[in-house]
Amino acid sequence: MGVVNVTPDSFSDGGEFLDARAAVARAGALVAEGADILDVGGESTRPGAEPVTLAEELRRVMPVLEAIAASSLPHKRSPAVSIDTVKAPVARAAIAAGVSIVNDVSALRADPHMAGLVAEHGVRCCLMHMLGEPRTMQREPRYGDVVDDVKAFLEERLRFAVDAGVPEENVLLDPGIGFGKTVEHNLALLDRLDELAALGRPVVIGTSRKSFIGWLLARAVGEREPVPASERLAGTIATNVLALERGASIFRVHDVAPVRGALEIAAATLGARCRKTFRRSPRS
């Protein structure tokens, strides 16, 4: 899953692809690198991010989604397109433009109309765990047992989605690495990711360039500040390979080619243990 941020304030590439033409070029490059899904988002969810208005989010993402739908991306098969939003009106417009996955970081909690919309249109949805909201989620997050708590949350949200009419096979689950978690919480989730995979739905993992990687890399060399996002590829690759081994099957990343290459080698090495998890992503 290749990331297309159409925002001025994302932590890793804020502003680089705010122009629709730049975003579409970015999408084409990601597909050429091997992305099966393009995840387009117009509202940053980095720690401390402020929400944007409905009108502004639509203004950012719709030209990109429409251009992607109308373009011939450099790939023998068309990628699935995902909309990263918590707003049902944005998801509705995106679905009309050809989107087949709704990536909702609130797990259908932010907008009471989102679950019904997903069910009505028969699209897939990704339900993510987040403690609080982007503005507050990193203020001393606490858990009893982070893995047990996240698992219980995802299980409850899966039941909610199914009760709202979303077929279970249309639901993806994301533990929300970095969303209201300390470095230690993130490491525990990665270490015990198999417990979340046991819920029976595809697990989406999103560690790409995140700050906990920056802190770990800094800690390893005795630095007091995290290494910048542009220098976190090695950690991104390592965490995704570990996630593959523990049952993740969809990998949301900024650097598609190197991560995909690492996953291909890891899957070949691990053989049957990963054959069921490292597969082509679901499509429309």
Residues serving a catalytic function are 210, 252
Write phi, then psi, for 243 (nearest 5 degrees).
Answer: -65, -40
Length of the chain measured in residues? 284
CA 38/CA 26 separation, integer angstroms: 10
Q: What residues have CB less than 8 Å from 192, skipping those under 6 apart? A: 147, 246
Q: Could you give the angle at which helices 256-270 and 20-33 cross, rounded to 10 degrees? A: 20
Write phi, then psi, for 85 (nearest 5 degrees).
Answer: -155, 155
Write phi, then psi, for 76 (nearest 5 degrees).
Answer: -70, -20
Write phi, then psi, for 179 (nearest 5 degrees).
Answer: -100, 90
Contact 1, 174 (CB under 8 A): no
CA 267/CA 114 separation, integer angstroms: 35
CA 19/CA 197 separation, integer angstroms: 37
